[in-house]
Structure formats: C-alpha cells, structure tokens
Amino acid sequence: MRRFALPLAFLTGIYLDSILFCRLNIGGIRPDALLVVIVSAGVLLGSVKAGIMGVGIGLFMDVLFGPCIGLNAIAYMVAGVTGGLFYQKFYADNVVVPAMVAAVSALLKEHIMMLAVRISGGTFSYFEMLGVYVLPCMLLTVALTMPVHVVLKRALSRQVRTEHRAGRA
C-alpha cells in the first residue's frame, strides 16, 4: 500500500494545487496541498525521506509552474525535514503535531516567496500581505493537514506492520 499511497497523495496534491484550488479560491487564498503531504510524510517516514521528496516535488512544481527554480524545492525540503523531527515520537500520533508543523512550514514558505518578490523588485506592504494572504492560507493549510495526515497514517501503517513482520521471519 505504501508504494501506491505516497505517489497517489502527491498526484492528488499536484491536482489540488495546480487545478482545483486555482479555480476554487476566495481572493487567491488557498491551502498548499503538497506542503500538507510532505509534512505528513515527514512525521510518518522521517526527515531524510521527506526532505528528498520535498526537493523532488518542489523542483517539479518549480519547473512546471514556478517563476523561479528552487524556491518551492527549498520550502518543501524544509517542511519535510521539520516534519521528520517528530518521526517515531510518541506524541506524533496526534494530528495536532503535523498541523503545527504545517502552520510553521506554511509561514516559512510564504516568507521565502515574499523575500523572492522583494529581491526581484516587487513592492508590497508586509503586514497587509501577512494579514490578507499569508495567515488565511496558513489556516487553510492547517485545516487540510488534519484529514490528510489521518488518511496517510492509516495507509502507511499497514505497510510498516507488514515490513516489520517480514523482518522477523
């Protein structure tokens, strides 16, 4: 199941981010589905795997949709590594941990994007952008993290138990 769960989750995240949420949003405010999947993968699989997945998916998204190669890769790698800090911790079973990591990661990602805009010559009011766009997007990302983490945890836990039993035999 694990072989199909993560690719399916990433494909669903790409679909949600690039097609569905682009059409269904209010004032450009939308959750980051790929960030949710990467954070959840980090909590469930560890920092190294999630960091590598984050770089790969981030580069993929940058090549297809990004104005600058590497911004999403950096943000998603940091999100995966941060989620992985809670790998195999007793409190990581709670959906609050991935939700909090997703909140911090979403804030960090949006700040990276704002810095890139500022460096490239864009002007905006930081506090207005924070209140009007960044915080609402972060809250939607947190709300999406909870059900996604529960589904991925179920899908990946079956495979982990199977591998554990096969290792004993």
64-71 average pLDDT score: 86
140-147 average pLDDT score: 95
- Among 1-5, 17-21, 99-103, the range scoring the smallest mean pLDDT is 1-5
* Per-residue pLDDT, 94: 84
- b/e map 124-149, b = 16+ CB within 10 Å: eeeeebbeebbbbbbebbbebbbebb
Contact 78, 117 (CB under 8 A): no
pTM exceeding the 0.85 threshold for the entire prediction: yes
* Per-residue pLDDT, 169: 52
* Per-residue pLDDT, 86: 87
Residue 90 has pLDDT above 90, yes or no: no
Q: Band of the pLDDT at 163, cuts 50, 70, 90?
A: very low
